[in-house]
């Protein structure tokens, strides 16, 4: 039998194999059984070449393995009704409709950049947030640094939350450049 993945998988697979052997009369004589167990990406920890199946909003991606990724270091305007939308509206003195309009533009930019494409994830110090989303820096196969590109093109503000600060200085520079050039959301 050929096993791939985490040794814990053997514990999970054993009851299934036992049921197979019993159901197929393999109690006394040798029984040939070939199984290949592939571990889901989220269990094996391999986040290279993972498919983005959907863009939830400008800074959150859904992956083929069912997990969500929150892009580290950036924050895009809200698209969906949420407490954060109303907090942002109150904090910025911007009406909800305008925030959602900008959120839709950021979502559309991120969607065109990443949706249905394979990406690589890079992690910083903390791998997950309080909502159990992966916290990552995301790269397209051509090397495009997604988090940075969203800021560079003017579709995100900065959201630096220690200890995940590896690219904070780069993001700050890109943010200042986008604002001064009035590109993306800063030109609207």
Catalytic residue list: 70, 78, 133
On whether the CB atoms of residues 75 and 156 are closer than 8 A, the answer is yes
Indicate the helix (H) or strand (E) that contains 136. Answer: strand 134-140
Q: The tokens 């907090």 sit on which residue?
A: 87
Q: List the beta strands (DSSP E) in 123-175.
A: 134-140, 157-159
Half-sphere exposure of residue 3: CA atoms within 13 angstroms, side-chain side: 12
- Rg (alpha carbons) of the chain, rounded to whole number: 22
């Amino acid at each position: 039998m050929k096993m791939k993945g985490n040794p814990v998988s053997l514990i999970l697979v054993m009851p299934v194999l036992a049921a197979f052997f019993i159901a197929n009369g393999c109690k006394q004589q040798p029984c040939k059984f070939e199984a290949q167990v592939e571990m889901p990406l989220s269990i094996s920890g391999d986040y290279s070449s993972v498919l983005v199946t959907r863009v939830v909003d400008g800074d959150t991606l859904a992956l083929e393995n069912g997990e969500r990724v929150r892009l580290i270091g950036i924050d895009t305007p809200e698209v969906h009704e949420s407490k954060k939308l109303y907090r942002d509206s109150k904090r910025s003195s911007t009406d909800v409709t305008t925030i959602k309009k900008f959120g839709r533009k950021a979502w559309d930019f991120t969607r065109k950049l990443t949706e249905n494409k394979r990406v690589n994830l890079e992690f910083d110090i903390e791998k997950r947030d309080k909502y159990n989303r992966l916290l990552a820096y995301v790269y397209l196969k051509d090397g495009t640094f997604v988090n940075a590109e969203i800021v560079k093109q003017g579709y995100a503000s900065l959201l630096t939350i220690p200890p995940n600060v590896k690219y904070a200085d780069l993001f700050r520079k890109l943010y200042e450049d986008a604002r001064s050039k009035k590109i993306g959301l800063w030109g609207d």
